[in-house]
Structure 1
């Protein structure tokens, strides 16, 4: 179990965050996902491609710098509604390159490399560079990961929680709001420690789980969390084993294979988007309880099904709320059944 290590990490990072933040010295040059990005001043106009970056900027109080957002899984959190009001949503999913550059951004913050990257469906970083538009990719999706293998990339090493703190710190440097980043990171670290403490006395050493994100169709193999990604980190942090062993971020695995593994818990994603039928978590629940293979799984028979927002399963500020929800749910189950 990773509990002592995670508590130590959270405590250590929390102690570091109390140091006085130095103001940004421009020009600021950052190494980001293999690219050098230079900022002559704090960007006055920014576009986000990915909800994680959007809500990260909101959490830093930078909503007034956003002129466009895109790629949403869930509705905006209530505490960010005021900042979100009036900001144009360029697309619910990936936007067009033209719509992004049409907002004349000085920065494009990107959650996922398959959107802006070597084979980006929106553009490459070089296309933005040619227009002198800086790009910032979330390190959580590019470090120790090959995004050219598998539908959503393949992890070469396990996801690191530090990558979220790094994004917050670097975005704050770009906009010269470092003290806000220190406060936010300290809050997130405290939330992580609280989640770990919630299950500290729960015997979870022999438990396992499957995380079902979505499915292109309910009658085909589901997209589930691989064993080195963000949901895997969440499970391991709380002492639960992920039954999926693939290094892919979101591999598709057959229900017969899943049923044979017979996970103790099922975690399913709730979304407000509707790209696939299984984006609707109610349809997931109906399937699990009616399909002849899934309805006989222990997690279904004993209703050990936990619903989390899809963004809580991403490298985002919501992940910490998701961890708290997951820890509370795990702690509430009677595993003697």
Structure 2
């Protein structure tokens, strides 16, 4: 790929990253947690089951950047014993509106393991299925419970009954549910309600300029390919981000969260725009490398999006459930309108 050919995607990446810094509620001037009286208990619904928490947790551990940013958006950095993340999430922290909170909060490394969690002595562990909770590692809600800590599951990643498929409510409803639940658990319900109102208003404003559903642009979420493309089904945050921005996720008929598809299916559905997940670490994970992969893939090379080079990129944390979602919708909506879509 020539230097000239890369100029347009680079400009789009800069625009999308800049938009991520406008998210409201960056962790400053928020109400502090209100300690509950001794023995006071709050019960919320988490993944369809009641979850009871006594007192206000003060040694929370979270996994992954989007999940950790939910804590920071609610002003709960002082309630955290630490967070873990994964290799390749440098772009998330670098672009985060809560970068200062990441710097102040203990980083527990890149392994969400029993040993790391136990060493932090948490009373509250916030993760999700495939966002840290996995039977293969032994880190499950049941194990967390056995240590005496409270396990809280990311609602976007709740498992469907009797299956390992994820997603039981629409992605933004998952975000609002988690804000409400965390607000109640940590005594910051007012803050949670304010954020939810702001996010709903942002989404409504972005949706106002969207075309009718019948005219929605076909959008392909491209995370990676090894060798088949990893993308978003209808239960992952990108599906609703795309829909609220005025597009249509080409894999919105898959009843799952983040999942694998095929190049044949992606090409057959002829996307008009491709949203690329920017991890920012390693030569194979750069946006330019992913664009080169798309353009060298024989089937994808014939699609409208690749022929017209309609690419836009966002950091990973902007595309999983988290407080960046509303601004991601706004940025994607602006891009689609700029392309006449």
> Structure 2 length normalisation: TM-score?
0.79
Partners of 1:146 and 1:154 within 8 A in 2: no
Q: 2:102 aligns with which of 76, 81, 84?
A: 84
CA offset digits 1:40-97 (Å, max 9, x no partner) = 21111110012222101111111111121113544324431222223222233x4111
- Hey, what's the Cα distance between the residues in 2 that align with 1:243 and 1:145? 25
Aligned partner of residue 102 in structure 1, secondary structure: helix
The 1:147/1:314 distance shift into structure 2, 3 A limit, reads farther
Return the offset for 1:106: 1.0
Q: Which has the higher helix share?
A: 2
Distance in 2 of aligned mates of 1:57 and 1:112: 18
The aligned runs of 1:1-337 (5 Å cut-off) are: 26-33=40-47, 35-72=49-86, 73=89, 74-76=91-93, 77-92=95-110, 94-112=111-129, 115-116=132-133, 119=135, 121-142=137-158, 144=160, 148=164, 153-155=165-167, 159-197=170-208, 199-200=209-210, 205=215, 207-216=217-226, 220-244=227-251, 245-273=253-281, 278-334=284-340
Distance in 1 between residues matched to 2:161 and 2:85, nearest whole Å: 21
Given that residues 50 and 112 in structure 1 are in contact (C-alpha distance below 8 angstroms), is that contact kept between their aligned partners in structure 2? no
Deviation of 1:302 (Å): 1.0
Instruction: Report the CA distance between 1:284 and its aligned residue.
Output: 0.5
Instruction: Indicate the residue corresponding to 1:5 in structure 2.
Output: none
Give, in whole Å, the separation in 2 of the partners of 1:243 and 1:310. 19
CA shift, 1:229, in A, is 2.9
CA distance in structure 1 between the partners assigned to 2:112 and 2:133 by the alignment: 11
Q: Distance in 2 between matches of 1:271 and 1:250?
A: 16
Q: Secondary structure at the match of 1:90?
A: coil
Change (3 A) 1:75 1:232: closer
Distance 2:41 2:259 in 1: 41
Q: C-alpha displacement at 1:312, in angstroms?
A: 1.9
Q: Is residue 156–residue 236 contact of structure 2 (8 Å, CA) maintained in 1?
A: no
Question: Paired residues, what number?
Answer: 301
Q: Distance in 1 between matches of 2:42 and 2:248?
A: 42
Q: Is the 8 A contact 2:63 2:131 kept in 1?
A: no
Please tell me whether the aligned partners of residues 113 and 120 of structure 1 are also in contact (alpha carbons under 8 angstroms).
Answer: no
Q: Which consecutive residues of structure 2, in runs of 5 or more, have no partner in the other structure? A: 1-33
- Closer, same or farther: CA 265–145 of 1 in aligned 2, 3 Å: farther
Q: Is the 8 A contact 1:46 1:109 kept in 2?
A: yes
Change (3 A) 1:51 1:24: same
- How many Å apart are 1:124 and its aligned residue? 2.0
Pick closer, same or farther for the CA change 1:247–1:323 going to 2, 3 Å: same
Q: TM-score, normalised by structure 1?
A: 0.80
Q: Quick check: 1:46–1:67 contact (8 Å CA) kept in 2? A: yes
Report if aligned partners of 1:312, 1:318 keep a CA contact under 8 Å in 2.
yes
